[in-house]
A and B are shown apart, each in its own frame.
Chain A
Amino acid sequence: DADVTQTPRNRITKTGKRIMLECSQTKGHDRMYWYRQDPGLGLRLIYYSFDVKDINKGEISDGYSVSRQAQAKFSLSLESAIPNQTALYFCATSAETSGRIEFGPGTRLTVT
């Protein structure tokens, strides 16, 4: 089984709809992240969480919210989706000491 799983893997939604992307991990890591990847712009950090009660904004948090339901679960919500949120979204985890971030398989989101 994969260490980091994301659901759904692909999603097409309409402008204005609320959508939630889910992430779960079995690595036992405390730290979880949401990144967005766009062609030509690289990976950009949306939100990160160092434990269940800790939530921090990344560089592009506007239009997004997150929830850390448990150590192993971190979800990303788009309250009212817009077309420029069409992108590949990655959940990631890391152990406190390593600095190394490990990524999930990604969710391809299309907003029409």
Chain B
Amino acid sequence: EDQVTQSPEALRLQEGESSSLNCSYTVSGLRGLFWYRQDPGKGPEFLFTLYSAGEEKEKERLKATLTKKESFLHITAPKPEDSATYLCAVHKGAQKLVFGQGTRLTINP
């Protein structure tokens, strides 16, 4: 069965304290891995797509990496405005995404 597991469920950091979020997956026929950011009461906002092991994408303080079994979202020197829930999802064809449960990130000033 296809599974996407994110860890930790919640993470609290001080402003400037770098860390990483994990997304591990067991999916046959992976065609892409997506990262989204979701603010409370809003729809998920697209961040990155990764297609193959070894690929990396960066946007401001965020960097996403991909291996054959997991993806990491690295957050460097985060700011309070980076507080959100981060979702990963795997694309396994027919443009259907299987989502993880998300990591709720809080950055304290």
Contact B95 A31 (CB under 8 A): yes
B68-107 vs A, Cβ < 8 Å mask (1 yes, 0 no)? 0000000000000000000101010001110111100000
A46 vs chain B, min Cβ distance (A): 12
Compute how far the CA of A58 lies from the CA of B101 in the bound complex, rounded to whole angstroms. Answer: 18
Contact B34 A100 (CB under 8 A): yes
The residues of A that contact B96 with a CB separation of less than 8 Å are 45, 48, 58
Compute how far the CA of A58 lies from the CA of B97 in the bound complex, rounded to whole angstroms. Answer: 11
Compute how far the CA of A104 lies from the CA of B52 in the bound complex, rounded to whole angstroms. Answer: 28
A60 vs chain B, min Cβ distance (A): 13
Compute how far the CA of A105 lies from the CA of B95 in the bound complex, rounded to whole angstroms. Answer: 20
**Tally of contact residues, B, Cβ under 8 A:** 21
Compute how far the CA of A102 lies from the CA of B38 in the bound complex, rounded to whole angstroms. Answer: 12
Contact B101 A100 (CB under 8 A): no
Contact A42 B95 (CB under 8 A): no
B43 touches A (CB below 8 Å): yes
B16 touches A (CB below 8 Å): no
A90 touches B (CB below 8 Å): yes
B31 touches A (CB below 8 Å): yes
| 10 pairs from A and B in contact (CB 8 Å cutoff) | A42-B101, A43-B89, A44-B99, A50-B95, A100-B34, A100-B49, A101-B34, A105-B43, A106-B41, A108-B41
Interface residues of B (CB under 8 A from A): 31-32, 34, 36, 41-46, 49, 87, 89, 91, 95-97, 99-102
